[in-house]
Chains A and B, each alone.
Chain A
Amino acid sequence: MTTTFTIAVIAPSLLNTNGDAENARVLARRAEWAGETATIVAVEVASDLPERPDAVVIGSGSDSALVPARDLLLEIQDQLRVWSTSGVPILAVGTGWELISWGVERAVGGVVEGLGILAGRGVPRRERASGDLVLSSRFGRIVGFENHARDYVGAEGSPLGRVLSGSGNGRDSSQEGVVMGDVIGTHLHGPVLAKNPALADHLLTSMFERRGLVYQRGERAASVDDYAVAARNQILTGLGLDAD
């Protein structure tokens, strides 16, 4: 008997500018490679929401998507709140992160209120931060790419990691992201879980535990992770940092 994991991805038609919604695919594949099955449910309207997801992914979108994405999130906020406090891993990237925080202060157009699930909020920064971003964290070094026009303030209590290279949350905080249990908010866009298998496997371990299973990285995952190591090392050495 295999267990079928359900991964909900919120509004991928609005929030997938940099492939951040594809982190759902990374979780699903790794669950399959560990011998189970997985389905990805795209939640474009509130009624798409699965009853008991094993993980939730919220990607990043353009500023024109802020209000429509927030309106969808408002409709499902009760469930998100319950899951966030009951140990369901939630990965929120960029705009998606800002929308489950206290909210977004836009340079033009005022404030977009968030759901308030995570502490802190997005505030305009002088220049767009765009480039490689490397952190030290309890999951080891996290390597990825950031591209955002806002800083994030109010995450000082529990960041995802310390910035080794790049901008991160900004405002001289030297920190990046915010973590509350297994709810993670980050500027690291795109397939952050593919490039950081340790972070992916941390979330998978939680997902498996909640189903009474023990997660063990599959054989295929191990060989794919060799590509991740090579991709990471290329970025790390390019920044003058030590390779993994």
Chain B
Amino acid sequence: MRYVPAIVIGRTVRTLARLRKPGGGSAVPGLVVNKVAPGYLATTLNSFRDGLVIVSGSSGKSTTTKMLVAVLRAHGRSVFTNPSTANISQGLTSALLERADLQGRIHDDIAVLEMDEGHGALIAAELSPRVVALTNVMVDQIDRFHDSEMVATMLTAIAARATDAVVVNADDGYLVQLASSVPAGVRVDRFGVSSAVLDAAPHGLGHARLAPERLSDPSGIVVGAVSGRTASMLIDGDEHTVGLPARGVHYATDAAAALSTARAVLGSAFDVDLAVAAVGSIPPVFGRGEVVEVRGQQVEFVLVQNPASYQLNIDTLEPGAPVLFAIGSDVRDPSYFWPVDTSRVSRVDIVSGSKAWELALQLSYDDVEIDRVETDLGRAVDDFLALPQPATGVKTIVFSADSMRRTRAHLGLTSEGEPS
């Protein structure tokens, strides 16, 4: 009963916030409840019947979380999970309030939280997750004040809270090291790629530190091969074909992470065929491999957020497909994209965005041919779509977050999560 007053206040604030700004103000009720009942968030998150699962790491945590939730739901579990934009404590509390009864209790079986490595470490100290899953520590040069050692330290703090199991990417040198210091009584489960998959990745896996050896433990889940939107994986001695939401080794790794984590959570109730089917049902996301029909033609949109994702996306572009590249003002100084090897592209139809000239320079020094530079993104998109349909592949637009927002607005595409 002790949270009843706080819940009532939180709901009142939520109602008031919605009256002022329909659909908005979602973090405000959380802020208020965290103030009047500072213990509510941790107490609630620690009280799920089947426990709490935390997914963290530099990249792939959203996809892994979505896949894991789908697998758990396929096994009949009701799951509380956080929308990926709201992974700070206010947002989390607000999300809990949406589902809580008047006592503040949630009637789901299990909670699966995606946590940013920074904020996650801050609130993790109060949480007792059963299972912690860590995807990777990537080369993240976008943020020089936030180096890989620091990310590894924060992930260690999150992993230290696990009561049952820590699930780690066995190809990540930092995570392998982290796993060796997990306290006695906490199991370590591993997933990774085969040496064939690693050898086929032209620029490696993007980890800040690649583990020296591939996973050999037969109890781990190994991605044996990736081809287009499917991967074959060795799970408990059997080969399984897993459907992926988009092309790329990183999606296969996310799927292996989700399957490993689901197995750790469900124990003997884990049904591998059910799990594999659930992972394969995950829809692609706009900007991450989703092919969208625009003006009567198929277009693939690819979001570039940092040099590592830039390189991965370049490496998975379909050869010969027409490409529009756009980098906007969200990238203050495009210098840090220069280590990315774009030479594989060989030809770009249009370079656009407010940083078009700098991007054109980088591409030119990789000997990429550029048909045209058009700083007006709207015009660039229109003209790109007006180009003849390619004989092979689909037209592809590669853009930074700011250019993505502008492109969506220009094409009248609805934002993520809204019904289209």
Contact = CB atoms under 8 A, between A and B. Distances in A.
Interface string A1-37: 0000000000010001111111001100100000000
Contacts of B334: 190
Given A22-B339, A190-B335, A191-B338, A64 B149 contact: yes
B361 A228 contact: yes
A231 interface: yes
Contacts of A62: 144, 147
B364 interface: yes
A191 B339 contact: no
Interface in A165-220: 189-191, 194-195
Interface string B344-380: 0000000000000110111011110000010000000
Contacts of B147: 62, 64
A41 to B, nearest CB: 17
Contacts of B12: none
A45 interface: no
Interface string A207-243: 0000000000000000010011011001000000000
Contacts, number: 66
B333 interface: yes
Interface string B309-341: 000000000000000000000000111111100
A231 B144 contact: no
B141 interface: yes
A191 B360 contact: no
A191 B361 contact: yes
Contact of A227 (B141, B335, B337, B373): B373
Contact residues of B: prevailing secondary structure: helix
Interface residues of B, number: 21
Given A231-B357, A231-B358, A190 B365 contact: no
* Interface hub of A12, A25, A227 (most chain B Cβ within 10 A): A227
B352 to A, nearest CB: 13
Contact of B357 (A22, A64, A191, A227): A227
Contacts of A227: 357, 360-361, 364, 373
Nearest to B335: A190
A224 B141 contact: no
A145 B335 contact: yes
A198 to B, nearest CB: 15
Contact of B336 (A17, A194, A224, A228): A17
Contacts of B338: 18-19, 22, 190-191
B309 to A, nearest CB: 16
Main secondary structure of the interface of A (DSSP, over half): helix
Contacts of B366: 25
B335 to A, nearest CB: 2
Nearest to A189: B335
Contacts of A194: 361-362, 365
B364 A224 contact: yes
Q: Which of A18, A20, A62 has the most CB of B within 10 A?
A: A18
A145 B332 CA distance: 10
B367 A29 contact: yes
B361 A224 contact: yes
Contacts of A19: 335-339
Nearest to A32: B367
Given A64-B147, A227-B360, A230-B357, A18 B365 contact: no
B350 to A, nearest CB: 14
Nearest to A22: B338
Contact of A18 (B149, B336, B361, B364): B336
Nearest to B149: A64
A227 B334 CA distance: 14
Contact of A190 (B149, B333, B357, B367): B333
Given A17-B141, A17-B144, A19-B335, A191 B362 contact: yes
Nearest to A29: B365
A5 to B, nearest CB: 15
A26 B358 CA distance: 14
B372 to A, nearest CB: 12
Given A231-B357, A231-B358, A22 B365 contact: yes
* A-B pairs with lowest CB-CB distance, top 9: A190-B335, A19-B338, A231-B357, A230-B357, A22-B338, A18-B335, A227-B360, A224-B364, A145-B333
Interface of B: 141, 144, 147, 149, 333-339, 357-358, 360-362, 364-367, 373
30 contacts: A17-B141, A17-B144, A17-B336, A18-B141, A18-B336, A18-B338, A19-B335, A19-B338, A19-B339, A22-B339, A62-B144, A62-B147, A145-B333, A145-B335, A147-B144, A147-B333, A190-B333, A190-B334, A190-B335, A190-B336, A190-B338, A191-B335, A191-B361, A191-B362, A195-B358, A224-B361, A227-B373, A228-B357, A231-B357, A231-B361
Given A12-B339, A18-B336, A230-B373, 14 more contacts: A18-B335, A19-B337, A145-B333, A145-B335, A147-B144, A189-B335, A194-B362, A194-B365, A195-B358, A224-B364, A227-B357, A227-B360, A228-B361, A230-B357
Interface of A: 12, 16-22, 25-26, 29, 62, 64, 145, 147, 189-191, 194-195, 224, 227-228, 230-231, 234
